[in-house]
Amino acid sequence: MKITRLDHVAFAVADLDAALALWERSLGLRPIHRERVDEQKVEAAFLPVGDSTFELIAPTPGNGGVARFLEKRGAGLHHVCVEVDDIEGALGELRASGVALIDECARRGARGHRIAFAHPKSFDGVLVELLQA
């Protein structure tokens, strides 16, 4: 598997507009992209940080994973995302090495990218997202 870069670090927030105002006021970061991802029941905004981004994700109505995360843990670090050159190949390598996968196959994520998640139990509690642009 070839990891090409750190794409983003994601933070779960309850109120996206309030979080965006805080990040802009405190760190001067303004969103470069914002979208609703109905398949994941979230609204996401991306803030540029060098060659990577911070992603702020807030739940939309329904019982999605981010809503459950916020209920259980509160706002904070949600996942780390790395870009790979071949997501299906990367999933195969992870599976073969015994990594537990949340997604057996890639699916559509924000910004039209193909994504998949590896289970946090395989990475010392860290939720890892794979992304192929």
Q: Walk along the chain (133 residues) and give the pLDDT tens digit of each residue.
A: 999 999 999 999 999 999 999 999 999 999 999 999 999 999 999 999 999 999 999 999 988 999 999 999 999 999 999 999 999 999 999 999 999 999 999 999 999 999 999 999 999 999 999 999 9
Q: Are 108 and 115 in contact (CB under 8 A)?
A: yes
Whole-number pLDDT of residue 63: 86
CA distance 75 to 41: 16
- The CA-based angle 41-42-44, given to 5 degrees, is 155
